[in-house]
Amino acid sequence: MDGLYIGSFAHALGARRRHLRESAAAGLLQSAPEDLEAAGFRWHHVCEPGGTAYELAHAAVAEIAAGGGLTDIDAIVYATCLPGETGAGPVRDVKDLMDFPAGRLQAEFGLSRAIVVGLHQQACTGAIGALRLAGALLTTEPAWRRVLCVTADRFPEGAWYEQAYNLISDGAAACVVGRDPDVCRLLTVHQITNGGLGRAGDDETVGTYFAYTHRLVREAAARAGLTPADLDWVVTQNTHEKAWQILARLLDVDHARIWAPTLADVGHVISADAFVNLSALLGSGQARPGQRIALPMAGFGLNWQCAVLEVAR
């Protein structure tokens, strides 16, 4: 992915900020609240009744537009974990199921030259998959300049806001991958999929997490000519805080370089929370030009994906 950059990071969260004990009392969690608190979770964000994933995506993209970041967009890659809402009752005219959110974004933001690509079978890793697809599109289309990547999900009303012992938030994130120098250089993206584990239970999913994430980070770093010890930062999803205490030792990475400061306040925003944490790192002033950052994500399917970035400015 030589000569590709990533920037214009933005995100939006569900409008209602709820303490996990409030959600537990409402029957929206499976684990005991004290167990989730022991994992580092406190708050999560839930859409108001009637709120949609598209509204979250629109809010994130509007933030980029307000900063002038939607010029020369040639494609929109829209990643989502959950299938679109079908409404109540049987479907007679399937046209209603093809009110695609990426097409709506293209129209509402006047991105008339942009093509649309949907990505929806990579679960909580879809945001990283969007980066990879954006890089591939720019590589094969030499006249293109910039690709808008968006991920957005909203859990159905009444659903448990917990998956594999993680507290879930509704939310969206967006960024732009392009040829012009930007905040970070996109070095590589790596993916592992084990479809045979697609229906694994929560305990089985947690059991595979360590071995596959260890392998993922090692292989992603190697694609960039690095070892895990060469990484300056590992920006993670918001998952059980003890998980990366273990993985840091396994990978020979100083735990002080593991970055997930929004765990308690934001929760696991499906495919967006690693980008929320990355924005927090870049905004903190601690990331220096030339430093290398890994963004590993795990998701159902089962999928593992990791992007490796280099801070450019």
pLDDT in tens, 19-37: 999 999 999 999 999 999 9
User: CA-CA distances (angstroms) from residue 71 to 115, 148, 178, 180, 299?
Assistant: 14, 10, 11, 12, 32
Which two tokens mark 188?
């590589």
Mean pLDDT across 236-251? 95
Q: Check whether residue 104 and residue 165 sit in a common domain.
A: yes
Q: How many helices (H) and strands (E) does the chain have?
A: 9, 14
Q: Check whether residue 23 and residue 165 sit in a common domain.
A: yes
Cβ-proximal residues to 89 (8 Å cutoff; 6+ apart), any chain: none
84 pLDDT band (50/70/90 cuts)? low
Q: Check whether residue 125 and residue 12 sit in a common domain.
A: yes
Q: Is the pLDDT of residue 288 over 50?
A: yes
Mean pLDDT across 128-156? 97
Plot region of 255 (φ>0 → left; ψ -120 to 50 → alpha; else → beta): alpha
User: What pLDDT sits at residue 86?
Assistant: 45
Mean pLDDT across 134-146? 97
Plot region of 267 (φ>0 → left; ψ -120 to 50 → alpha; else → beta): left
Domain membership of residue 9 as a residue range: 5-178
Residue 248 CA to residue 240 CA, distance in Å, equals: 13
Between 290 and 90, the higher pLDDT residue:
290
Mean pLDDT across 165-187? 97
In percent, how much of the chain has pLDDT > 90?
A: 89
User: What pLDDT sits at residue 203?
Assistant: 86
Torsion 272-278-282-285 (CA) sign: positive
Q: Check whether residue 272 and residue 291 sit in a common domain.
A: yes
79 pLDDT band (50/70/90 cuts)? very high
Q: Which of 178, 201, 228 is the last residue of a domain?
A: 178
Q: Which of 145, 178, 211 is the last residue of a domain?
A: 178
Q: What is the CATH number of the domain that holds 139?
A: 3.40.47.10
User: What pLDDT sits at residue 95?
Assistant: 80
**In total, how many domains does the chain have?**
2
Q: Check whether residue 259 and residue 301 sit in a common domain.
A: yes
89 pLDDT band (50/70/90 cuts)? low
Mean pLDDT across 50-73? 97
201 pLDDT band (50/70/90 cuts)? confident
181 pLDDT band (50/70/90 cuts)? very high
Query: What global pTM score does this model have?
Result: 0.95
Q: Check whether residue 127 and residue 189 sit in a common domain.
A: no
199 pLDDT band (50/70/90 cuts)? confident
Mean pLDDT across 199-205? 86
85 pLDDT band (50/70/90 cuts)? low
Mean pLDDT across 65-87? 88
Q: Where are the alpha helices (DSSP H) in the chain?
A: 20-25, 33-38, 53-66, 101-108, 126-140, 202-223, 241-251, 263-266, 273-284
User: What pLDDT sits at residue 47?
Assistant: 97
Q: Check whether residue 307 and residue 212 sit in a common domain.
A: yes
Q: Between the CA atoms of 155, 160, 162 and 168, what dihedral angle is there, to the nearest 10 degrees?
A: 30
96 pLDDT band (50/70/90 cuts)? confident
Q: Is the pLDDT of residue 68 over 60?
A: yes
User: What pLDDT sits at residue 97?
Assistant: 78
* Average model confidence (pLDDT) across the chain: 95
Residue 166 CA to residue 160 CA, distance in Å, equals: 11
Mean pLDDT across 246-255? 96
Q: Which of 149, 178, 207 is the last residue of a domain?
A: 178
Q: Is the pLDDT of residue 202 over 90?
A: no
Which two tokens mark 154?
């909203």
Q: Check whether residue 164 and residue 86 sit in a common domain.
A: yes
- Opening angle at CA 56, ends 54 and 58, nearest 5: 70
Note whether 4 and 224 are within 8 A (CB): no
Which two tokens mark 160?
């448990």
188 pLDDT band (50/70/90 cuts)? very high
Q: Check whether residue 287 and residue 305 sit in a common domain.
A: yes
